[in-house]
């Protein structure tokens, strides 16, 4: 079996490794950049200070614990305490996020927030589901909804809370609030940073593969059961083409471009931390949700790379919303996405995969789960009818939990 994988990010690299283990096919990986990694890259300043643009840490965020032993085959993982905070107004102190009532009481409006939450608890009613604003206000009260979510939603998503579905809050567990917080970024396992950064993971995983860098894919041409990938450096024909490139680009934007949200970065060398949680652990990143600042989140890479006691120079990155960055898919593009999935299913050997290929926000563990599902369903997928492949692509894509 001849396989072409478009993209040497984590999805494409993980897929190549799993296919080799399962089927030992002939694999060619096409990568438009000069190095692998995609969004999962570690960069350095001229002075050697490291930072990441994509995922900051490794953890089990989406319920795939077998991902960690898999990754440990390629990297040593150093455990980190990763706390996130939020400064709800520029004049307020930073409080941990997810929010807890004990920390919120420290705010100037803490008594008002406490009364609203107490009334909701006493009423003991299910949260409203007319829209996201209704859901949050009936879970957290109007004051906290406005401070923590309204401005951020307009700034990053470009939508009012009442224009978004309640399901968005349930998926992200935005209503979560405890009496006293444990402060750690929520996940289903501890957090880790790969020793030496993320780049060595790809050096190890791609060992022995035919990876062709600086190759841009222009279009796909199907002939019978095989597909030809037309690139900037010639054509490659295969039985299976697994594409982690943007699904709308691969199909030449025939239904129009899919809409994305993302960040651009402002980088600064700093020596001070962002502040500390009540137990003394410094925050790894802090949200700034008020609409008057373009900054959505600030990350301290000293804490992420070196741990809680780092006291030297570190990179601090400010993330500013930028719709030109393909990082987070939006919920209102479902109809257009389904048309692209149908287009992919109509070509027998073509399978979209990953964040860009399946237009899904993924973490490293959910990417691993997606690649695992494809390995197990590949033979069935190749032999299925187009309408069956559409359903299988939906299964491959998965939901928020995986």
Please, are residues 61 and 263 in contact by the beta-carbon 8 Å criterion? no
Domain-located, residue 51:
yes
Please, are residues 20 and 211 in contact by the beta-carbon 8 Å criterion? no
Domain-located, residue 172:
yes
As a whole number of angstroms, the distance between CA 275 and CA 295 comes to: 17
Q: What's phi and psi for 166, nearest 5 deg?
A: -60, -30
Is 133 found in the same domain as 83? no
Is 82 found in the same domain as 158? no
Domain-located, residue 402:
no
Mean of the pLDDT values across residues 170-186?
A: 72
Average pLDDT over the chain reads: 93
Predicted pLDDT of residue 36: 97
Is 93 found in the same domain as 114? no
Is 275 found in the same domain as 189? yes
Strands (E), 207-313: 210-213, 217-223, 226-231, 234-238, 240-243, 260-261, 263-270, 285-287, 295-300
Predicted pLDDT of residue 63: 77
Domain-located, residue 73:
yes
Mean of the pLDDT values across residues 132-159?
A: 94
For residue 254, is pLDDT > 90? yes
As a whole number of angstroms, the distance between CA 48 and CA 267 comes to: 14
Domain-located, residue 70:
yes
Number of domains in the chain: 3
Tell me what percent of the residues of the chain surpass a pLDDT of 70.
98
Q: Name, of 216-225, 271-280, 285-294, the range with top average pLDDT.
A: 285-294
Higher-pLDDT residue of 217, 223: 217
As a whole number of angstroms, the distance between CA 133 and CA 159 comes to: 11
Is 110 found in the same domain as 85? no
Is 342 found in the same domain as 280? no
Predicted pLDDT of residue 185: 59
Residue 162 is part of which domain span? Answer: 100-176
Is 116 found in the same domain as 68? no
Is 133 found in the same domain as 224? no
For residue 259, is pLDDT > 90? yes
Is 280 found in the same domain as 190? yes
Predicted pLDDT of residue 187: 58
As a whole number of angstroms, the distance between CA 319 and CA 297 comes to: 5
Domain-located, residue 308:
yes
Is 109 found in the same domain as 84? no
Is 111 found in the same domain as 53? no
Other C-beta atoms closer than 10 Å to the C-beta of 383 total 10
Taking the model in full, what pTM does it have?
A: 0.93
- What pLDDT digit, counting tens, does each position of 16-42 carry? 999 999 999 999 999 999 999 999 999
- Of the candidates 196, 165, 185, 205, the one whose C-alpha atom is nearest the C-alpha of residue 60 is 185
Domain-located, residue 307:
yes
Domain-located, residue 35:
yes
Is 209 found in the same domain as 337? yes
């Amino acid at each position: 079996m001849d396989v072409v994988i478009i993209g040497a990010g984590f999805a494409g690299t993980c897929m190549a490794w799993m296919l080799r283990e399962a089927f030992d096919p002939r694999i060619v990986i096409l990568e438009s950049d000069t190095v692998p990694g995609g969004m999962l890259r570690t960069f350095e300043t001229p002075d050697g200070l490291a930072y990441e643009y994509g995922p900051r840490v490794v953890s089990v965020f989406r319920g795939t614990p077998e991902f960690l032993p898999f990754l440990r085959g390629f990297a040593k993982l150093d455990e980190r305490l990763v706390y996130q905070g939020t400064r709800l107004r520029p004049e307020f102190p930073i409080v941990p996020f997810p929010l807890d009532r004990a920390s919120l009481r420290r705010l100037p409006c803490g008594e008002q927030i406490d009364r609203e939450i107490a009334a909701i608890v006493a009423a003991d009613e299910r949260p409203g589901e007319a829209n996201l604003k209704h859901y949050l206000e009936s879970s957290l009260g109007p004051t906290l909804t406005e401070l923590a979510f309204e401005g951020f939603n307009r700034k990053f998503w470009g939508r009012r809370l009442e224009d978004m579905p309640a399901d968005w809050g349930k998926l992200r567990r935005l209503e979560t609030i405890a009496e006293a917080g444990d402060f750690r970024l929520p996940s289903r396992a501890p957090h880790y940073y790969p020793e030496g950064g993320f780049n060595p993971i790809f050096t190890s995983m791609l060992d022995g593969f035919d990876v062709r860098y600086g190759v841009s894919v222009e279009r796909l041409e199907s002939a019978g059961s095989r597909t030809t990938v037309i690139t900037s450096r010639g054509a490659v024909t295969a039985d299976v083409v697994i594409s982690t490139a943007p699904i709308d680009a691969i199909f030449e934007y025939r239904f129009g471009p899919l809409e994305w949200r993302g960040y651009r970065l402002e980088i600064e060398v700093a020596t001070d931390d962002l502040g500390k949680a009540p137990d003394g652990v410094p925050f790894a990143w802090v949200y700034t949700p008020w609409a008057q600042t373009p900054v959505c989140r600030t990350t301290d890479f000293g804490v992420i790379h070196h741990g809680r006691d780092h006291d030297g120079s570190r990179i601090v990155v400010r993330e500013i919303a930028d719709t030109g960055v393909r990082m987070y898919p939006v919920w209102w593009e479902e109809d257009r996405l389904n048309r692209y999935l149908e287009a992919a299913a109509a070509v027998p050997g073509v399978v979209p995969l990953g964040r860009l290929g399946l237009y899904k926000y993924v973490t490293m563990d959910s990417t691993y789960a997606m690649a695992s599902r494809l390995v197990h369903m590949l033979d069935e997928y190749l032999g299925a009818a187009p309408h069956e492949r559409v359903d299988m692509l939906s299964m491959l894509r998965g939901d928020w939990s995986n």
